[in-house]
Structure 1
């Protein structure tokens, strides 16, 4: 791996002035390699794949290979144009450092083609949606259209965003569509350091995103729950700016599934990003993801206490409690950053799960926290006449990317616990045997087959077929994944959302975006007689409640009777399309 280190030093320092093509090292995983990122194939040699390419149209993959044949076929599709490009004359490769930087930005960030202007000592890359100065740049002016700060202003007050989908260029036109590097946009402030808490992190891909903004040497702390091959060795050898901790779960059925970023700027202000996306290429390019980005939280004046700068939703104290739940020295400085920040402009409530047994009136369990928030702050119309709109006419919708075991009947957990929490409102706190309707939005086999990558589109949907066979009753609640209104139907949803919708499909009583799928591990087990519920996993989300935005309800449709100018961003199409009799949920 030493040659890789030398190549990285050359990349960073720009010392390779003679335009020699570096000799690439062989991929350490060899035939076990599962990567599908073009940058991986540009950096490492894959002799086995080269030998397959030499077969031409008669490629035959041996039956005894460690990866599925489809993996190798897709890798060949990625590698083929790279090999063809390498055959071009050397003077096409010996480009200026400026041109190389420009191409790196485009390919890493997967943006559409852009026009470029190069000048000595400065490179500016223009596209319709972002303005980035990669060298010797000063902070982009706050009012520049296309910067991330401008996007935040346009999407105020909700700050709810979805990821761009390169296969669907129309998504780049959405005012609330972002890439990961948008989170590092200099218009947001000069980054001092950042914390990434996630499940799966490809550290090589992640640092490339930071490098696009020239932030790859800034201090970075990561907590993760699933390591990539040789990840620790890679960080120890090549990432002196990275502190890391692998969160080992005590419960074999638990998962470190939270996805949150904390970005601290030079003035010690910070932003919080709560997301549904893992930190690797496919999650940010192939699947629909959602993320909430906080307003800037300034540093409190000297002499302030931890109780100062609290959000109306108690977001600050809940975030501190979540970080403290890890009991890790590596998080102490981050807890201090949060304690010293002013969260008074944050309007969403934090909902999280941490392993262990939890009781009502406390955070750490989705069932309890969601039920508490809705019981206190969710208002639904009161039914005054047989014809009038009442609470039960508002339907609950649960959209997820995976489903756990719920039991032999709806009454066991699905309606007896999950629905009891989601159906809560001020007039009916934690209703027993609620008659509220609940619909599940989850891709069918047909949805996945029509995805951009065929059946491989279902890679983000790890619902077990064995589990589905034991709870066939659940299919009567299921609806197709259709998001034609946002040109996102053919990209599968890794986003998870829960909400309550008016009978005219124009208003929301609440909206929750979270990492928590439809499972007991994420939301909490059956509530026991003492009120306790056991959690196996770490999860995090934010809840939008109209009360804290000065609204009666959130508007989600451009109906003639709209009272508000701001439309709440909704990702899938309404009305829902139920599963047909012969439809089957996608299962792995």
Structure 2
């Protein structure tokens, strides 16, 4: 089916049209992945992933420049982009040995790393140098030590991932996966990694060498051919076990991103938004909640001991038990042996199923509704407090806003306090933050950044009404306007956007599959996917005002109870010329920051 817009002309194939029926599907069914690693070309990643990410991988491997005005009929390959390695804001350790840049990285790690810091170097010469505003201009040895960071004054334990290619000061207070897995955090005994897209070889290299043979459980949702690919990846590593999450409802995904890290010294839980692949830890904005180190309880202590005021231990165990997996039952026993009482956040998860009666409130948006009613606090004039949603993918939400967004979804997100009766007619503002085409084009990665923003033309053209809610991605205060978001956050903000009633970081995108949708006249909640996040509520941080102040500068020494929202407020509404990024159409009228165009097929 041929279509045309201001971005050019494109063709929707029959396989693309079938994906339209997948409400939150970043990846096609396994029937569309008819290949093994032996069949792959250099333009394909070695791990199972979405069609959007495959397109991005292909464009990185074979960039396209516009030859003349007849594009896309006349497209020629651009010079292959070499990943910039020098002087771009964060330091790699000597174990960063990705095959394509092994020599350069080892040389840099050995030549610059002294006393836990690294000095900035000159950019390598390239015909595709980044713009000046993308280049680190400050020495990265000004960054705070990771250990001090984790044991500092911030009570939230909410972090962003490090971004290569921004000023070093903007990586202050940020973490790379190598930091999280560092021996500084403990002597690892075993670990579990829950995720959606997994590059096993890359993941193993993120562990310190002394931990790479420790038992590792990988929890995934792959089926058929893509499951076989994952097993083939893991086969060389005798310490790895795989656990397949059951996905019995069509078009669901195992989208949860969590680490369980068992140390000789205790246990740590990490809930985050990054896939376990290089690109997600390189030049994207991602979020991390890192638990305290949970100490082991004395022998003979009751399993029910060590609970937090937020019932985090109970809810984490309940989430793991929903997999009905013997491998995860072993981890439940580990959790029972530890004291999680210092946890200040609430867990919000989704697991596939159809839930009725009290079971409905355990998962999805009804879980959020219950927590906000029981633990949220009413604030003055709260009808004027906005719902802000920020995400990297969008599902099919219905023919108009009344079908889901402004009904059941909104009703859950506006709950605040037990005494507040929900009224569906309330005109609570909704601001949805999703990158524009220009946001992606001007990003550090250029157009390939859009591979992690899998909003399709088939879905978008059915819900044009949604675009009136859209706001641009803007993160000047955190220095990440050019690092495209894969983080997903939701909050309730005051009319002046200087206060928030709560903040949620989660794997859940804006979709029914992730949050759930009512069936049987509201008597049943149906969820397709596994998701996991944590919510920060003022009451758990000693505040009786019902809100956090928004931290004006997330790197400043403002009062510790000011929350570090990772993007600019107030959100900036799309202008008339702005369009949401849609991954499966070409963009050929303007080059990206690397001088390339976007032709996904």
TM range (shorter): 0.7 to 0.9
**Structure 2 residue 457 is the aligned partner of structure 1 residue 465:** yes
Q: For the residues of structure 1 that align with 2:160 and 2:97, how far apart are their CA atoms? A: 23
Aligned residue among 305, 327, 331 for 2:302: 305
Deviates more, 1:466-475 or 1:539-548: 466-475
1:280 aligned residue: 277
2:390 aligned residue: 399
SS at match of 1:473: helix
Task: Summarize the alignment of residues 164-563 of structure 1 with structure 2, pairs less than 5 Å apart.
Answer: 164-170=162-168, 173-175=171-173, 177-210=174-207, 212-226=208-222, 227=226, 230-236=229-235, 238-267=236-265, 269-359=266-356, 361-362=358-359, 364-382=362-380, 390-426=381-417, 427-526=419-518, 528-529=520-521, 531-551=523-543, 552=545, 553-558=547-552
1:34 aligned residue: 44
- Superposed CA offset, 1:431-472 (max 9, x none): 333321111000111211111222212111111212111111
TM-score normalised to structure 2 length: 0.74
Preserved contact between residue 308 and residue 341 of structure 2 (Cα < 8 Å): yes
Q: For the residues of structure 2 that align with 1:480 and 1:299, how far apart are their CA atoms? A: 45
Q: For the residues of structure 1 that align with 2:569 and 2:425, how far apart are their CA atoms? A: 27
Q: Which has the larger radius of gyration?
A: 1
2:149 aligned residue: 151
Preserved contact between residue 97 and residue 105 of structure 2 (Cα < 8 Å): no
- CA gap of 1:113–1:173, structure 2 versus 1, over 3 A, is farther
Whose RCO is larger (CA < 8 A, sep 6+)? 2
Shift of the alpha carbon at 1:544?
A: 0.4
Aligned residue among 573, 579, 588 for 1:584: 579
Preserved contact between residue 162 and residue 178 of structure 1 (Cα < 8 Å): yes
Shift of the alpha carbon at 1:407?
A: 1.0
Preserved contact between residue 197 and residue 223 of structure 1 (Cα < 8 Å): yes
Preserved contact between residue 364 and residue 516 of structure 2 (Cα < 8 Å): yes
Preserved contact between residue 419 and residue 434 of structure 1 (Cα < 8 Å): no
2:595 aligned residue: none
Shift of the alpha carbon at 1:154?
A: 2.3
Shift of the alpha carbon at 1:478?
A: 0.6
- CA gap of 1:443–1:173, structure 2 versus 1, over 3 A, is closer
Q: For the residues of structure 2 that align with 1:186 and 1:170, how far apart are their CA atoms? A: 24
SS at match of 1:579: coil
**Structure 2 residue 161 is the aligned partner of structure 1 residue 163:** yes
1:126 aligned residue: 116
Q: For the residues of structure 1 that align with 2:106 and 2:564, how far apart are their CA atoms? A: 23
Shift of the alpha carbon at 1:180?
A: 0.3
Q: For the residues of structure 2 that align with 1:228 and 1:73, how far apart are their CA atoms? A: 34
- CA gap of 1:483–1:100, structure 2 versus 1, over 3 A, is closer
Q: For the residues of structure 1 that align with 2:300 and 2:213, how far apart are their CA atoms? A: 32
- CA gap of 1:529–1:563, structure 2 versus 1, over 3 A, is farther
Shift of the alpha carbon at 1:582?
A: 2.6
Shift of the alpha carbon at 1:512?
A: 0.6
Deviates more, 1:421-430 or 1:344-353: 421-430
SS at match of 2:518: coil
Task: Summarize the alignment of residues 53-64 of structure 1 with structure 2, pairs less than 5 Å apart.
Answer: none
Gaps of 5+ in 1: 1-26, 38-51, 60-68, 82-98, 130-144, 383-389
TM-score normalised to structure 1 length: 0.76
Deviates more, 1:481-490 or 1:239-248: 239-248
Preserved contact between residue 440 and residue 447 of structure 2 (Cα < 8 Å): yes
Q: For the residues of structure 1 that align with 2:369 and 2:464, how far apart are their CA atoms? A: 27
Shift of the alpha carbon at 1:101?
A: 4.3
Deviates more, 1:108-117 or 1:299-308: 108-117
2:570 aligned residue: 575
Q: For the residues of structure 2 that align with 1:219 and 1:503, how far apart are their CA atoms? A: 50
SS at match of 1:456: helix
Number of residues paired by the alignment? 488
- Superposed CA offset, 1:323-377 (max 9, x none): 1111111112211011111111000000000011224655542211100011111
- Superposed CA offset, 1:151-198 (max 9, x none): 1122531000111110224365422x1100111122211111100011
- CA gap of 1:340–1:402, structure 2 versus 1, over 3 A, is same
Shift of the alpha carbon at 1:286?
A: 2.6
SS at match of 1:486: coil
Preserved contact between residue 261 and residue 273 of structure 1 (Cα < 8 Å): yes
Gaps of 5+ in 2: 1-36, 48-61, 68-74, 86-91, 120-142, 584-601
Q: For the residues of structure 1 that align with 2:396 and 2:288, how far apart are their CA atoms? A: 27
Shift of the alpha carbon at 1:531?
A: 3.3
- Superposed CA offset, 1:546-578 (max 9, x none): 10111132121349xx99444311111112110
Deviates more, 1:521-530 or 1:179-188: 521-530
2:4 aligned residue: none
- CA gap of 1:204–1:547, structure 2 versus 1, over 3 A, is same
Preserved contact between residue 270 and residue 297 of structure 1 (Cα < 8 Å): yes
- Superposed CA offset, 1:195-235 (max 9, x none): 0011111000000111x453111111111124487431232
- Superposed CA offset, 1:117-167 (max 9, x none): 89xxxx9663169xxxxxxxxxxxxxxx94433211225310001111102
Preserved contact between residue 395 and residue 436 of structure 1 (Cα < 8 Å): yes
Q: For the residues of structure 1 that align with 2:463 and 2:84, how far apart are their CA atoms? A: 44
SS at match of 1:406: coil
